[in-house]
Structure 1
Amino acid sequence: MKTLNQHTLLYDTDCPLCNLYTRAFIKAKMLDTEGRKSFEKITSKEKSFVDIKRAVNEIALIDRENKQVTYGIDSLLKVIGNSFPIVEKIGNFKPIKYGLSKLYSLISYNRKVIIPSDKKESEELECIPSFNVKYRLLFIVLGTLITSITLFQFSHIIQALPKASFIREIWLALGLIISQVVFVINKDSKTILNYVGNIITVSLMGCIGLFQLMLLNSMISFPQWLILFAFSGVVGFMFFEHKRRIKLLELPSYLSWTWIGYRVIILFFILNV
Structure 2
Amino acid sequence: MNTPDRKVIIYDDNCPMCALYTAGFVRWGVLPRESRVAFTQLDRVLSPETVADRLDPFRSRHEIPLVDLAGGATLYGVDAMVYLLRQRIPLVGRLARARPLYRFFRFLYSLVSYNRRILVPTRKRAVAFDCSPAFHLNYRLAFIACALVFTSLATCAFGQSVAGYWPVDNPGVKMLLTGAIVWAVPTLLALIFMKEKKVDYLGHLATLVMVGALLLLPGIGLSALTAWHYPVIPVFSVLASTATMGWQHFRRMDHLELSQRWTTLWLLALSGTAAGFYTFWV
Fold match (TM-score > 0.5): yes
After superposition, the Cα gap between the structure-2 partners of 1:171 and 1:211, relative to the gap in structure 1 and judged at 3 Å, is closer
Aligned to 2:117, which of 100, 112, 115? 112
Confirm whether residue 186 of structure 1 aligns to residue 205 of structure 2. no
Confirm whether residue 79 of structure 1 aligns to residue 79 of structure 2. no
Q: Is the 8 A contact 2:60 2:76 kept in 1?
A: yes
Q: Mind listing any 5+ residue stretches in structure 1 that lack a counterpart?
A: none
Quote the residue 1:210 is aligned against: 216
Q: In the alignment, residue 93 of structure 1 is paired with which amino acid?
A: A
Quote the residue 2:134 is aligned against: 130
Moved more, 155-164 or 132-141: 155-164
Cα distance in structure 2, aligned partners of 1:88 and 1:262:
48
Quote the residue 2:33 is aligned against: 33
Share of identical aligned residues, percent? 23
| RMSD (Å), alpha carbons | 2.5
Match of 1:237, SS state, is: helix
Quote the residue 2:58 is aligned against: 53
Quote the residue 1:262 is aligned against: 269
Quote the residue 1:18 is aligned against: 18
TM-score, with normalisation over the residues of structure 2? 0.85
Match of 2:34, SS state, is: coil
After superposition, the Cα gap between the structure-2 partners of 1:161 and 1:245, relative to the gap in structure 1 and judged at 3 Å, is farther
For residues 35-88 of structure 1, the C-alpha deviation after alignment (integer angstroms, 9 at most, x for no partner) is 111123334222332101111001111001115311110011111223433321
Quote the residue 1:228 is aligned against: 235
Q: Is the 8 A contact 1:10 1:59 kept in 2?
A: yes
Equivalent residues, number: 267
Moved more, 170-179 or 260-269: 170-179
After superposition, the Cα gap between the structure-2 partners of 1:143 and 1:269, relative to the gap in structure 1 and judged at 3 Å, is same
After superposition, the Cα gap between the structure-2 partners of 1:227 and 1:33, relative to the gap in structure 1 and judged at 3 Å, is closer
Match of 1:118, SS state, is: coil
Quote the residue 1:5 is aligned against: 5
- CA positional deviation for 1:216: 1.1
Q: In the alignment, residue 91 of structure 2 is paired with which amino acid?
A: I
Moved more, 159-168 or 174-183: 159-168
After superposition, the Cα gap between the structure-2 partners of 1:75 and 1:175, relative to the gap in structure 1 and judged at 3 Å, is same
What does residue range 136-175 of structure 1 map to in structure 2 within 5 Å?
136-158=140-162, 159=166, 163-164=170-171, 165=173, 168=177, 172=181, 175=184
Q: Mind listing any 5+ residue stretches in structure 2 that lack a counterpart?
A: none
Q: Is the 8 A contact 1:145 1:170 kept in 2?
A: no
Cα distance in structure 1, aligned partners of 2:222 and 2:152:
20
Cα distance in structure 2, aligned partners of 1:209 and 1:236:
11
Cα distance in structure 2, aligned partners of 1:241 and 1:150:
19
- CA positional deviation for 1:192: 1.3
Q: Is the 8 A contact 2:61 2:133 kept in 1?
A: yes
After superposition, the Cα gap between the structure-2 partners of 1:203 and 1:171, relative to the gap in structure 1 and judged at 3 Å, is closer
After superposition, the Cα gap between the structure-2 partners of 1:134 and 1:104, relative to the gap in structure 1 and judged at 3 Å, is same
Match of 1:62, SS state, is: strand
Q: Is the 8 A contact 1:40 1:126 kept in 2?
A: no
- CA positional deviation for 1:269: 4.2
Moved more, 85-94 or 107-116: 85-94
Match of 1:61, SS state, is: strand
For residues 148-191 of structure 1, the C-alpha deviation after alignment (integer angstroms, 9 at most, x for no partner) is 1111221233328774417736864662342341475211xxx2
Q: Is the 8 A contact 1:210 1:234 kept in 2?
A: yes
Q: Is the 8 A contact 2:68 2:74 kept in 1?
A: yes
